[in-house]
Structure formats: C-alpha cells, structure tokens
Structure 1
Amino acid sequence: MSTPLTYDDIVKNLDDLPSLPAVVMELLNSIDQEEVDISVLAKKVSHDSALTAKTLRLANSSLYGLQVKVTTIQQAITFLGFQTTRNLITAAAVTGCFAEGRCEGFDHKRFWRHSIATAACAKVLARQMRFNQDYAFTAGLLHDIGRLVLVACFPQQYAQAIAHRDAHDCSMLEAERAVLGIDHVDAGMALAEHWNFSDTMRLAIGGHHDPETPGAGFLAAIIHVADAMVHALDLAQMPDGLVPPVSTVAWTALALNEETCLQLFRETELQFGEIAMVLLS
C-alpha cells in the first residue's frame, strides 16, 4: 500500500500541471466582477485560433438557438452576453487542457462526458431555480476537476484507487480516500486555489458531495443534484454505475417534482449531445 498523500503533496505538484491560456485564467479570476473590458478580452481570445474556433462552434450550437451565425468572439458576446461567452471559452479551454492516457483504468473521454453532462444538467436546473445559469454550467463542468489533478500528478496511485473501486464495488470517492488518503474534492480545492477561481466556484467544487455542510451554498446543492441525475441517466456510460446518494437537504432545497424531473432529464440529454459533440471532437 502506498503512503497516504496529503493536501500539501497536491499543492507541491500543481506547478507541473498544464496551465490554461492566460486569457482563460483572466476570465476565471474575474467571474465575480461585473466591470471587465469586453473588447480587450475578445481581442485576446481571438489570438488563440483553436480556442476561438471551439468557442464559436459552441455558440452556434442549438444549445443557444441563435437565429444568426456568429463568426467572431465579439459577436458572440453581443448575441449571447458576456457571462455566457466567458463560460463557453472556459469550457473550450479546460476540456483541451489535460493530457490523456497516463493512468491505467482512467477513461479521459468518459470523465469529460460526465462533466459536460453535469454542466448541462446544472444549467437546466439553475434556470428552473432562477439561479445564475452561467455559474451553474461552469461549476458543473469543473466539479470533478480534482480527479484530473490526481490522475496527472499521481497516475500510479490513482490506478490503484481505480482497481480498489472495482474490487470493492464502492464509489470512487471512497476508493480515493482508502488508497490515497485524500480525495478529488481536496485536489479540486487545491487547484481552485492555484488557478484563482472565484469563491463561488470554490464553494461549489468543495461542497458538491456534502452540500449540507454549513456555508456550502446553493450552487453546491445544484451541482450535487445534477451530478446524481447524470449518474442516473448514465450519459457518460461510466463503468461504476453507482448513483451517489442524494442529500435530503439539497433535494428539499430544490423542491423538484416528478414532472419537473422528467423535463430536466429530457433537456439535459438534448443539450449534452450537442455540447459533447463540440467539446470532445
């Protein structure tokens, strides 16, 4: 059995991780600020042609139902608004940021399928709750980002955790704690700190498994329920088909009925297909 890892071990390894384009870091750091010079940001993003292409494909997807075809970042901002465009840029950048295939048993594509499905579901849920859909989408996309940190920094140990999960038929969270001594929530929080995520994002990542923790915030409850719904729908076709237990506190806070749930499922499935096609192609 390997020596348990600590939070400090993660922090020490964060500098070895791939870094996001500078403009994306700027976008993530400014998520809670209203005053941002949009034209300057649009210009900066357009210098990265791959990022621009992916962002515009998302903007033109049926997810947003635009009647016009947008061909520049500035146009996307005009038609979709700054918040939404910032989200799309973040989604396009983060999904292309981590290298694949360094950890035995970890399926990179399935990981992103689950994250994208959670983002889609969180966005639909947020609209239902009259909560900021853009925060929900980004938090849904990044809620499990700590797994990528563990896979990138400690591939051998994480492979052991995956083997442990398969052998003991437990959740990945339990397997991480048993084998590594820490879990992907700890790793996600370390990365959120390192990448200067806003407090809003940090709380959602930190609380998505325990939304009843005091101060976890409403966004954590949305991500928690979206995560469970997506597991139930099995959009990512995960080998560990376990649906995580849903917190009664979070479920009660969202006050969903059966009819609303069915509608959420339908919309999530539709949006997921569209977003996955753009982000994972």
Structure 2
Amino acid sequence: MRPSLEQAIAAVQQLPNLPSTTRVVLGYLNDDDADINQVVQAIARDQGLVARVLRIANSPFYGLPNQVQTIHEAVIVLGFSNLRLVVTAAMMTAQKFPGLANGVEVQRLFRHSIAVAICAAAIGRSNKLNPNLLFLTGILHDIGKLALMATFTAQYEEVQSLRASGNLLTIDAEAQVFGFNHATIGAALCRHWHLPEAIAVAIGDHHSFGGDDDLDPSAKDYSAFAEVIHLADAVALGLNLEADPLAAVPPLSERGWIRRMGSHEKLNIDFKEIERLYQELVVLIDGHS
C-alpha cells in the first residue's frame, strides 16, 4: 500500500536520531575559523567516532611511519576536509539505516554522493559560496533514498524495477510508486536531525529545476545551494564515476547554469582533478568504513 507523504515523513523520523556529538563536530568542521582543540574535544565525546578516526588515520592510505595515538594527531593527519567525510560516513551506516539489504546499491549511492560533493565544492568556490557546507550537502543530497530504502523496502524495490524496465529517472519512478520523491523526504530528515536549514532547503529543492527554462525567473526563489547541488548532481551522473549501469542525467536547468556559471559553455572545474579526488576518497571510505 502506498504511504502518504505525511506517513512517510513520520516513518523516516523513527529512524535513529543523529547524535548530538555528530552535529557539533560537523558544525565545527564547516567553520573556517574553528579551533582544532574544539574539534578534538567534540570527537572525544563519542568513543565510536574516536575509534573510526584513529583507525583511518593509521590506515595504509596515509602510510605514516609511526602510529597515530591521539585524536589531536589524527585530526592533523586527516585534515578538516577528510575528517568531514569520515564523520558524514559515520552518519550513513547500516546501523543508522538498519533495513538496508542491497549493499551494492547503497555503495553506489554513497559513491555518487562523494562525486556530487566534490563537484558541488568546486562549483561553490567559483560562486563564492561555502565549499565546506556544499561538500557536506553533496554527501547528504540523496539521504532520502537511504531513508526510503530502509523504511519502505518493498516499495523501493518496485522503484528500482521501474527504473530498470521503464528507462525512468529515479525521481520519476519514485513519483509513480510513492507520489513524491526522495528529495522531499531527505529535507524532512535533515530538519528532524537539526542540520543547518541551508542543507535541508538545498536537498529538498535540488530536483526542482528540470524543465524550468521557460519560466519567469521570479516564479520561484530557489536557493543558491540548491542550484549548485542540482548542477553538481547532473555533472556527477554524467561522469558516472560510481559505474551505475542505469545512471541517467536529469534535465538540466539552463537558468540555473547561467546564474551559477555565467555564459560559459564549460564548467570552470578540472574533471581530471575531480576524478583524482574521487578515487582517493573512495579508497579512504571503502577500505575503512
């Protein structure tokens, strides 16, 4: 039976809440003026996070001659950018979404999210928008998919079947099965977790641009972050770094492109650099999650 939007939001809000420690750590990591000692003290309150951070800092990925033994050393080794990814990955584990069964699909989803995060940060820098917050938003932009997969497993399997057999975009398949899409659910979940409103708005609106090119520019006041995530999502899907055989680029907002990229026909970002960063981050997360 198809749940109403209200029922779906109520259901995903029953998922385990975001630990207050995680919110505090992410808040510091998104502040360019954050004191490293504040970050260290915040991480130290969560022993699970401490273990994960130390494990990754001591991984072969960094190849350090001596073992990292303190959180302070680990934060220095990882840097705020990698640490932000580690903390966010801790949010998106099977423990938080216990109903997830399709490991391959979840892995693809997280890899796509990494690609979107990298693209969003790059576009954000050229638009003088906070690249750190955009990176986090990119990582979380499809969190509604995870929530729906975990909460309405059978219905989401139907979404995947429709997507495969009907050559449909995910949001169109979701609309057929649920009557709404993962962006709306993701925004509701971010608000339930008390994440910054800019993230919730961007996640909720990042699929609201396709086919808008003939609209009056004043028809809707889309957020700058939502436009960036919309563009980054399309770029990441076009690159298909996660190797999804069903990956398809959604309709791209020409108006959003012009507002974010000006009249340039090409993105002012280095695709080879994006791929390099992507491969590094995937190794970091896949090998030590």
> What's the TM-score once normalised by structure 1's chain length?
0.81
Give the Cα–Cα distance (whole angstroms) in 1 for the partners of residues 246 and 103 of structure 2. Answer: 12
Hey, what does 2:168 align to over in structure 1? 170
Hey, what does 2:187 align to over in structure 1? 189
Going from structure 1 to structure 2, the CA distance change for 1:118 and 1:32 (only over 3 Å counts) comes to closer
Once the two structures are overlaid, the 10-residue window that deviates more, 238-247 or 99-108, is 99-108
User: Higher relative CO (CA 8 A, sep ≥ 6), structure 1 or 2?
Assistant: 1
1:87 matches 2:93 = no
Give the Cα–Cα distance (whole angstroms) in 2 for the partners of residues 186 and 218 of structure 1. Answer: 18
Give the Cα–Cα distance (whole angstroms) in 1 for the partners of residues 220 and 29 of structure 2. Answer: 23
Opposite residue 228 of structure 2, the aligned amino acid is I
Alpha-carbon distance, 1:119 to partner = 0.7
CA contact (8 A) 2:21 2:46 kept: no
Once the two structures are overlaid, the 10-residue window that deviates more, 29-38 or 229-238, is 29-38
- Which one of the candidate residues 215, 221, 226 is aligned to 2:227? 221
Opposite residue 148 of structure 2, the aligned amino acid is L
Give the Cα–Cα distance (whole angstroms) in 1 for the partners of residues 184 and 100 of structure 2. Answer: 21
Structure 1 unaligned regions, length at least 5: 62-68
Once the two structures are overlaid, the 10-residue window that deviates more, 11-20 or 99-108, is 99-108
Hey, what does 1:244 align to over in structure 2? 250
Structure 2 unaligned regions, length at least 5: 60-66, 213-218
- Which one of the candidate residues 116, 121, 124 is aligned to 1:123? 121
Give the Cα–Cα distance (whole angstroms) in 2 for the partners of residues 185 and 39 of structure 1. Answer: 35
DSSP 3-state at the match of 2:270: helix
Measured against aligned partners, the alpha-carbon deviations of 1:104-152 in whole angstroms (never above 9, x if no partner) come to 6971110111011111111122223232110110010001100001001
Going from structure 1 to structure 2, the CA distance change for 1:34 and 1:268 (only over 3 Å counts) comes to closer
Give the Cα–Cα distance (whole angstroms) in 2 for the partners of residues 58 and 216 of structure 1. Answer: 38
Alpha-carbon distance, 1:89 to partner = 4.7
Hey, what does 2:105 align to over in structure 1? 107
Give the Cα–Cα distance (whole angstroms) in 2 for the partners of residues 109 and 195 of structure 1. Answer: 23
> What's the TM-score once normalised by structure 2's chain length?
0.79
DSSP 3-state at the match of 2:235: helix
Opposite residue 19 of structure 1, the aligned amino acid is N
Give the Cα–Cα distance (whole angstroms) in 2 for the partners of residues 237 and 18 of structure 1. Answer: 30
DSSP 3-state at the match of 2:247: coil
1:200 matches 2:214 = no
DSSP 3-state at the match of 1:16: coil
Q: Once superposed, what is the RMSD of the aligned Cα atoms? A: 3.5
Going from structure 1 to structure 2, the CA distance change for 1:218 and 1:117 (only over 3 Å counts) comes to same
Give the Cα–Cα distance (whole angstroms) in 1 for the partners of residues 231 and 191 of structure 2. Answer: 24
Hey, what does 1:266 align to over in structure 2? 272
Give the Cα–Cα distance (whole angstroms) in 2 for the partners of residues 70 and 259 of structure 1. Answer: 43
Alpha-carbon distance, 1:25 to partner = 2.8
CA contact (8 A) 2:188 2:200 kept: no
Opposite residue 187 of structure 2, the aligned amino acid is M
Hey, what does 1:233 align to over in structure 2? 239
Percent of aligned pairs with the same residue?
Answer: 32
Matches within 5 A, 1:148-163: 148-163=146-161
Q: How many residue pairs get matched?
A: 273
Alpha-carbon distance, 1:32 to partner = 8.1
- Which one of the candidate residues 1, 6, 12 is aligned to 1:14? 12
